[in-house]
Each structure stands twice: as structure tokens, then as C-alpha cells.
Amino acid sequence: MNHARKLSVLSVLSVLLFALAAIGGLAACGSSDSETTTGAGAETSGAASGGQATTEGPGAGERGKAGATTIVVKNGEPVGGVQDLEYSAGDQVRFTVDSDVADEVHVHGYDLMKDVPAGGSVSFSFPAEIEGIFEVELEGRKEEIAELRVNP
């Protein structure tokens, strides 16, 4: 009886230890992820987007607060897929949309809307004061062109 009880306590302990180790592992993965993303988010808005044509000029790693990202729209779709714009709360969000189609660019949540003419471009600059993830969309086409992330 006593022996059996000891055994089961041991087995539970080992299960919990295993769970702890698994969580530790997950957390480690998670934290390395978050370090890279928050690190990038603080200084750059365009580096995470990975699109070739999306950042203008040299020194993409140092843009963000000062520089601006350009989202290029061809045939009504963002070149290089949906672009990531990452900022910390309080930063100034700056980006430009270069579009070959006329539409209205809508930044959800912040509820900013600007028309872009075919072959023209439109620029946004506003403080990142709402935390969360927001869609940037070509309103007429309902096409998501960028995802704006504002971290606390």
C-alpha cells in the first residue's frame, strides 16, 4: 500500500516535471521569437515585411521611426503578399501605398481612410496609440494589403 502510493506520487512528479520541461522549452522558443520581433518592431517597420520592393533606399534596418515603408500594389494586390508593419505604442506610424489601381486605403481600428488614384501613391503618418493588430485594406476590393501591429 505504502509502496504503491510512493510509486504513484513518483509517477505524478515525473509527469509534472516533464510538463514543466515542455513549458520551459515552449517559453524559450516563444521568448526568442518575441525578442526578434519586438527588437525589430522598435527600430524598423519594414524589415519584418521581407518584401523586396517594399522598403525604399538603404539602411532598411534603421527605418521605422524616421523612415517609411512603401507598400506596392500591382493589379490590386500587394507585391510580396500582405505586408507587416510593426510598431511600439507611441511611435509614429508612417507608410506609403503605391497603387496601380484606384481605390480607398482604409486603416481599420484607427479608422483612417485616404483615396489613392491609379498609378499614384498616398502616405499615412499617425501616432500608434491603439494597441493590437489592425488590417490595412483596399476598401473597394476588400483586399488586405498590410497588417499593422502596435505592441504595448
Give dist(CA 118, CA 101) in Å, integer.
4
In angstroms, give the least distance from the CB of 56 to another protein: 27
Q: Which is nearer to another protein, 30 or 59 (CB)?
A: 30
At 13, which amino acid appears? L
Count Cβ neighbours within 10 Å for each residue of 117-136 and write b for 16 or more, e otherwise.
Answer: eeeeebebeeebeeeeebeb
104, three cell numbers = 480607398
Give dist(CA 42, CA 60) in Å, integer.
13
Question: Pattern 78-117, binding to another protein, x per CB under 8 A?
Answer: ------------------------------xx-x------
Q: Given the C-alpha cell 534603421, which residue does it identify?
A: 62
- Binding flag, residue 151, another protein (CB under 8 A): yes
With contact defined as beta carbons under 8 Å apart, do 51 and 84 qualify?
no
Residue from 6, 21, 30, 50 touching another protein (CB under 8 A): that is 30
- Binding flag, residue 133, another protein (CB under 8 A): yes
Q: Which stretches of the chain bind another protein, using CB under 8 A?
A: 5, 8, 11-12, 15-16, 19-20, 23-24, 26-27, 30-31, 33-34, 108-109, 111, 129-135, 137, 141-144, 149, 151-152
